[in-house]
Amino acid sequence: MTAQLSARGAPVPRSPEWPMAGPAPRPVGSRSPSPAPTPDTGAGLRGVPLWLALLLAVASGFVSDVGYPDRNLWPFTLVGVGVFLFALLGRTGRGALAVGLVGGLSFYLVHTEWLTVYLGPVPWLALSGLQSLFWAVFAVPLAFLLREGPVVWPSRIGRVGMVPLAVAAVWTLREAITSTWPYGGFSWGRVAYAMSESPLAPLVAWVGMSGLSFLVVTVVVLCLQLAREADWPAYSRRAVAVGALTLLVLMPAWPAPTSGSSTIAAVQGNTNSGLFAQYEPGENLQKHVDTTRPLYDLDADVDMVVWPENGSDLDPQRDAIAERLVDGVSRAMDAPVVLGTVTERDGNSYNTSLLWEAGSGVTDWYDKKHPVPFAEYVPDRSFWRPFAPNLIDMVPRGYSFGTRDTVLDVNGVLAGISICFDITDDGLVAEMVDDGAEVILAQTNNADFGRTDENVQQLAIARLRAIEIGRTVVNISTVGTSAMIAPDGSTLAALTPYEPGSMVETVPLSDTRTPASTIGGPLSSLIYGFGLAALGVVALFRPRMLRART
């Protein structure tokens, strides 16, 4: 046929060139054809129904936790993160919120189960619930980037380059926010913490904690994006994934140069010093004195003796018996004693590390700068008390925030002092290095958490800190796990948990700054800024691209 009928039945002549030159003329009154569909940029791996995504989110939390101590099977954390992000593929607002909430709860309920040992389920559920809300909120932009990023950056390099970087940056931004807010935050569960004994741990000396999380998550998202590239040969995709991970593993370790050494004695008294512990006044102090006594006849010239947080339940500045005992230890060891106790000044209570020298008493001290909320103090007590009055009343009077510097001059050695969860605070650790710390004394009391994963999780963080800042970390606990960790992350000495004991070791000192100590802060800010900028670009250009197609 050489003609077609119009909408009114009249013939419409064809263009002589049709069909060679283009489509047939559109009949008068007919509708515009639908725009061409958006090219499929993820044909190789699609989203799953919401019910299955929620099940995957539950599984992701359990799998991710296996990568952390005590199991320490670090590849499982990569798999867990990948499963969670896969569950977000194709999700929009409410679906992403649901997946994020379930995934966050699954992870934190398993990862922080140690909170229930003596404190019961309420703090555990409250903390896990708060952290899962952050996961839920951030799941929305993560899903948005996974869904729309390949459209805004449609080239292959955009899909397997820009999208992994953007998603990893937003993931790391969430970790940074939850580590600092609210009330100082809770940093447990950062992806970097699962890498403490992995081949990737040396990277932390170059890029810091946030940088390590960023690189690890980037590799995970890269693998996810490569699985979506159905038109790319499988061997090429495997080569890229293996090459990226190999590149990180082969990154040379920071040489961690030293500037001297110091012989340190660290004492674990195995004291009954938990929140609900019942003991006679002076009992904890006496146990640390008794555990130190076998060291009196050592041939080694000890530079300092370190007791843990709450190593003395009596303040030797206020109790004559405690004063005599601590002074006797310092005199017998011919070395200053660094001990943790509770002090009072001007009507305020502090979680304090005292530097005690025989004949002189206290010559310096450090007050914990960031007491743990709802454990060492109660923020906004009048607001929170109605929700759990019995728990809130367990902390009748909280510790005040310290204001002194973080470094003590101990027998000529500049020692950075970290009390318990201080070791998780990026800012405080950086402050120690800025103040000239040559070694870190990480004093802690893990008695409230029993024989759980908490103490080895905290030791893993201490190990990464040693590598990150190139300093020996003496992690000494009331009950364990206590160890001395070299600047390269290796264990110099360790004590059996829940047994009294001591370790004496000549440890390396350092006054050299690692790359992470120098650029870690600005690099982290750059990562967070990149994540926000990537979100802005996708949010701005995706609607424009849709309008252009119509």
| Average pLDDT rounded to a whole number, residues 57-66 | 98
Which tokens belong to 331? 């005199």
Looking at 293-425, list the stretches that DSSP marks H as alpha helix, in order from N- to C-terminal side. Answer: 320-333, 381-384, 389-392
| Average pLDDT rounded to a whole number, residues 130-156 | 96
Higher pLDDT, 373 or 471: 471
- Percent of the chain residues topping a pLDDT of 90: 77
The pLDDT, as a whole number, for residue 16 is 36
**10-14, 133-137, 245-249: least confidently modelled range:** 10-14
Q: How far apart are CA 112 and CA 189, in angstroms?
A: 9
User: What would the pLDDT profile of 480-526 be if each residue is shown by its tens digit?
Assistant: 899 999 999 999 999 999 999 999 999 999 999 999 999 999 999 99
Report which listed range, 41-50, 140-149, 295-304, is most confident: 140-149
The pLDDT, as a whole number, for residue 123 is 87
From the list 309, 262, 269, 316, the residue with the least C-alpha distance to 289 is 269
From the list 544, 545, 546, 539, the residue with the least C-alpha distance to 141 is 539
Residue 70, preceding peptide bond in cis (omega within 30° of 0): yes
Q: How far apart are CA 372 and CA 449, in angstroms?
A: 15
Assess whether pLDDT exceeds 60 at residue 33: no
User: What would the pLDDT profile of 311-356 be if each residue is shown by its tens digit?
Assistant: 999 999 999 999 999 999 999 999 999 999 999 999 999 999 999 9
Max Cα distance, the chain (Å): 115
Q: How far apart are CA 480 and CA 493, in angstroms?
A: 13
The pTM of the full predicted model, rounded to 2 decimals, is 0.89
413-419 and 472-477 beta bridge pairing: unpaired
| Average pLDDT rounded to a whole number, residues 543-550 | 72
Domain ranges of the chain: 50-254+521-549, 260-379+395-513
Count other Cβ atoms within 10 Å, centred on residue 410: 26
Cβ distance 370 to 421 under 8 Å?
yes
The pLDDT, as a whole number, for residue 72 is 92
Assess whether pLDDT exceeds 60 at residue 58: yes
Higher pLDDT, 297 or 312: 312
Per-residue confidence band for 44, with pLDDT thresholds at 50, 70 and 90 = low
Q: How far apart are CA 436 and CA 416, in angstroms?
A: 8
Per-residue confidence band for 45, with pLDDT thresholds at 50, 70 and 90 = low
SS3 314: coil
The pLDDT, as a whole number, for residue 139 is 98
Assess whether pLDDT exceeds 50 at residue 175: yes
User: What would the pLDDT profile of 70-93 be if each residue is shown by its tens digit?
Assistant: 999 999 999 999 999 999 999 999
Assess whether pLDDT exceeds 50 at residue 7: no
From the list 421, 447, 397, the residue with the least C-alpha distance to 274 is 447
- Percent of the chain residues topping a pLDDT of 70: 90
The pLDDT, as a whole number, for residue 369 is 93
The pLDDT, as a whole number, for residue 287 is 96
Q: Could you tell me the CATH superfamily of domain 260-379+395-513?
A: Carbon-nitrogen hydrolase (3.60.110.10)
| Average pLDDT rounded to a whole number, residues 137-150 | 97
Count other Cβ atoms within 10 Å, centred on residue 34: 7
Give the dihedral of Cα atoms 343, 345, 350, 353; nearest 10 deg.
-50
Q: Taking all residues of the chain, what is their mean pLDDT, rounded to a whole number?
A: 90
Higher pLDDT, 272 or 550: 272
The pLDDT, as a whole number, for residue 542 is 83
